[in-house]
Structure 1
Amino acid sequence: MYSLSLLYLFCVSLFFTSIYGITYTKEEVLKRTDNNVYYCKDNICVSSSEYRTDYETIIIPNNQGRNVTYITDSCSSRDIDIGACNSKECSNDSQCLSNKCIKGHCIYNEDNPVVECQYVRTRHNAYPFGDPKGYKMQCGLPYGYECKSNDGCSSYNCNNGVCGTEDDSGCHSTCGIGQSIVFAYGVVPLVILFILISCCICCSRYHNKNKKEVTIV
């Protein structure tokens, strides 16, 4: 009987894992290089592609293993006051990933900030075709939160004290190809042109030298 109970629990766990995927710690997420967006709570992180039920909510298991649905989007108190907050409505703090619900909307909470992780570009002045070494998984505050530096934002883009969207003006796996194209069609022709000009100058000097020798004779 005891063995059957264990088998039942194993099957149930396997079933929910197949539906919702797996969870990660924040340290494990930081080692990943995929393009999924991750949300973390109490060092339990999930992929939005596996645990998101809709565009505005995410399912994160708690420490007891029970799946809890949270509203991910938050607004500033100013946007809520002027009616500019379009996030999903809440009725209590526990519904918000930020753990703070005011006037029917989840609000930014400095005491319990939302932790979002995404694979972003961290070099804003790289090569024309991007720099593959300038990408990493970045965990921090999501879009709209107040920030002091790029390190504080999941987008690695703190713009005028507010986390902005990620800078993806570069590239990922195609960076090497782009740089090869620049080298092949930009640098190589310049080198060839320099060699040709040098050869022409040398030939011209050699010709002038021979001409002077003939004139003297």
Structure 2
Amino acid sequence: MATNHKLTATSRKIEGKGASRRLRTAGYVPAIVYGAGAEPQAIQVLHNDILLGSRFESFYSSVIELTVDGKAQKVLIKDWQKHPFKQLMLHMDFQRVNENEAVRVAVPVHFLNQEKSPAGKTAGLVISHNLTEVTVSCLPKDLPEFIELDLANLKAGDIIHLSDLKLPKGVDVPELGLGKEHDVAVVTVAQIQEEVDPTVEGAEGGEASDEEKK
């Protein structure tokens, strides 16, 4: 079941670094909302509300109901700035969405049944998740929280490409329309290459005779 994310914000008039610092000290995140043919609007959101939302994986890839000064609108999180090491959001950008226009969003990939697959049960194989998220295009109502990739039949030498993903109805991957070279590998299975110690290899050959040394 899709998670319905909601945020409440208020508009802000004073902008600038000093004003943003004061907002953060007061427990707010300075942000801006733009798009859908309307003027950009500077807003502020409670930092605790952002932390609560970010506990869900889908928070950054779902349509959010953002209420600003009592007026609700549908938005996507398009950009954010976090503190380098503190659990602190510094700034956020929200983009308004039109329910009748397609959006492009990077959604996570969920890998299923890998440990049950032939490759997962075989020693000496490396299973690589080359992509952990995929950018999809669809109407806001069709936006999935994630894409599932069942690896139950994965075996040695397999390569799963973007075009192999099973997408929900109404959802596509724009990158696939750019040509075959953009049909990149999502998952690969490779054999571990054992390195041969040259000192051991030389020892196995024995010491050269006096005649060979001349």
TM-score (norm 2): 0.27
Q: Greater relative contact order (Cα 8 A, min sep 6): structure 1 or 2?
A: 2
Higher helix share: 1
TM-score (norm 1): 0.26
Over alpha carbons, which structure has the higher Rg?
Answer: 1
Higher strand share: 2
